[in-house]
A and B are shown apart, each in its own frame.
Chain A
Amino acid sequence: AQKITQTQPGMFVQEKEAVTLDCTYDTSDPSYGLFWYKQPSSGEMIFLIYQGSYDQQNATEGRYSLNFQKARKSANLVISASQLGDSAMYFCAMREGIIIQGAQKLVFGQGTRLTINP
């Protein structure tokens, strides 16, 4: 079964608009972590934001916020005031269980290609 699902293969948004990238996850472990990464056309993977399963508040990092709805098992990324430089692939990922030395692994979704139009 797919652990991480990103249902939007591509998104097109006007510059300065807010955008929400969807991510749903599947786990029966009460302890897990959720991550979002950005991959621009240059290819590197850039960490954006983290949400722990026990965190009471939604994570925020500058223009990025994570809309964490635990009961729905969703962890959508919200980018406010989008910029041309936000055009990239965005990946949602999950770590199941607590962090154990070397044994943790991140499972990634299929990604969403975001294009910001001027």
Chain B
Amino acid sequence: DTAVSQTPKYLVTQMGNDKSIKCEQNLGHDTMYWYKQDSKKFLKIMFSYNNKELIINETVPNRFSPKSPDKAHLNLHINSLELGDSAVYFCASSLTRGRGFITGELFFGEGSRLTVL
């Protein structure tokens, strides 16, 4: 019963290739995110989607393109991979509207470790 699941967990690929990471959440959340964790463990937001609509688009190269077919899925496609893209990519989700008290905490997937050779 994984709440936020990402596939694949590991990706090893050559420079110049295109790759995708898929993410699904079964928490009924309305907002999903992609975060990147670099080799120094620093976590930075890349994108945020709310009900399939792109809301946050941080300074990320155009080679990164998120796609949200519905509010439970958020995929990340990366074109022309570069060495500097090697990182762990985390998908996350949160609830930003609902009954009761909302903290807005993020629920993270297990991460997808991308290695570009």
Contacts and interface: CB of A to CB of B under 8 A. Distances in A.
Contacts of A35: 103, 105-106
B49 to A, nearest CB: 7
Interface stretch (B19-27, B40-48, B78-86): B40-48
Contact of B105 (A44, A50, A89): A50
Interface residues of A, number: 25
Contacts, number: 75
Nearest 5 pairs between A and B by C-beta?
A102-B50, A102-B55, A45-B108, A108-B43, A50-B103
The CB with the most chain A CB atoms within 10 A, among B55, B94, B97, B103, is that of: B103
Contacts of B88: 43
Interface string A29-42: 00001010101000
Given A43-B110, A44-B110, A89-B41, A104 B104 contact: yes
Give the contact-size bracket for chain B: 20 to 34
B104 A33 contact: yes
The main secondary structure of chain B at its interface with chain A is: strand
B104 A101 contact: no
Contact of A106 (B30, B45, B110, B113): B45
A102 B31 contact: yes
B31 to A, nearest CB: 5
B43 A102 contact: no
Contacts of A110: 40-42
Contact of A101 (B33, B42, B50): B50
Given A35-B105, A43-B110, A95-B104, A103 B43 contact: no
Interface in A18-34: 33
A47 B106 CA distance: 8
Contacts of B44: 108
Nearest to A39: B41
A101 B56 CA distance: 11
30 contacts: A35-B103, A44-B108, A45-B90, A45-B106, A47-B105, A47-B106, A50-B105, A52-B103, A99-B96, A100-B96, A101-B31, A101-B50, A102-B30, A102-B31, A102-B48, A102-B56, A103-B48, A103-B56, A104-B31, A104-B96, A105-B33, A105-B48, A105-B56, A106-B45, A106-B106, A107-B45, A110-B40, A110-B41, A110-B42, A111-B42
